Amino acid sequence: MKAFLAALFLLVPATVFGQTPDSVLGRLGINLDRPAAAAKPLSPDGEEGLSRGEASILNRVVSRFAKARIPIPQNVKIVWDSNPDVDGSADRRTNTIHISTGSASLPEDEFAFLLAHEAGHLNDPTPACENIRDHGQHTCEDNADWAAEQYMLMAGYSGYAGAGLFGRLMMMSNRASFPRQILVGIFDSHRSEVARTNNLLASWRAYCQRYGCR
């Protein structure tokens, strides 16, 4: 029984408990009945200091999101942090997304999910997720993942990209084993990568209920 409960805790994110897909989408300000309102393209901050690879992947993703009219807040700034790791954060106080320079080495779709996840933080109206830099709460991370999956599908990216990024992070951090995933789900500000992937699946299904995916 204990093993079953641990597995259940690992696999089912809190975002889905007691909520319909519509209620979650509505709380995140996403209405899939009509196209999102046109948003200004994201503005890279200090782009002249970027390497060619960093500027290229950022511009491709930002352009694709803009064409898809992803509901990203206006006047968002993107700041590249000098960090070889794959990482990102969002600061709602300054309307800024921070991306590590190491993230530029990701495949475009995984980089797009990382950026979409941070944009999801900026869009999250949940009171408990306001005015904190790293959004270190499970609910906030669940909401950002859910929104990111919606944004990815709206922009025509693969719905599997987020899961691919989570798999990459598991391998890079040596926490792909079942016991490690349980510990991550308990002690980390993010849920386990397996639980986060399950959340993406729920978000994808909600999207397909509206649009009839192939």
- Domain borders along the chain are 2-211
Q: Determine the pLDDT at residue 148.
A: 96
Angle, to 10 degrees, between the axis of helix 138-154 and the axis of helix 161-172? 130
Could you give the CA distance from residue 210 to residue 153 in angstroms, rounded to a whole number?
12
> What is the pLDDT at residue 4?
41
pLDDT class for 64, splitting at 50, 70, 90?
very high
More confident residue, 95 or 13: 95
The answer to whether the CB of 100 falls within 8 A of the CB of 81 is: yes
**b/e per residue 115-128 (b: at least 16 CB within 10 A):** bbbbbbbbbbeeee
Which residue is it, tokens 């921070």? 98
Q: For 105, phi and psi rounded to 5 degrees?
A: -85, -5
Q: How many residues does the chain have?
A: 214
Split at pLDDT 50, 70, 90, the class of 129 is confident
pLDDT tens by residue, 104-117: 999 999 999 999 99
Reported as a single tens digit per residue, the pLDDT across 5-39 is 444 334 444 343 333 333 333 433 333 333 333 33
Domain 2-211 indexed as CATH 3.30.2010.10: yes
Q: For 41-50, 73-82, 124-133, 181-190, which range has the lowest pLDDT when averaged over its residues?
A: 41-50
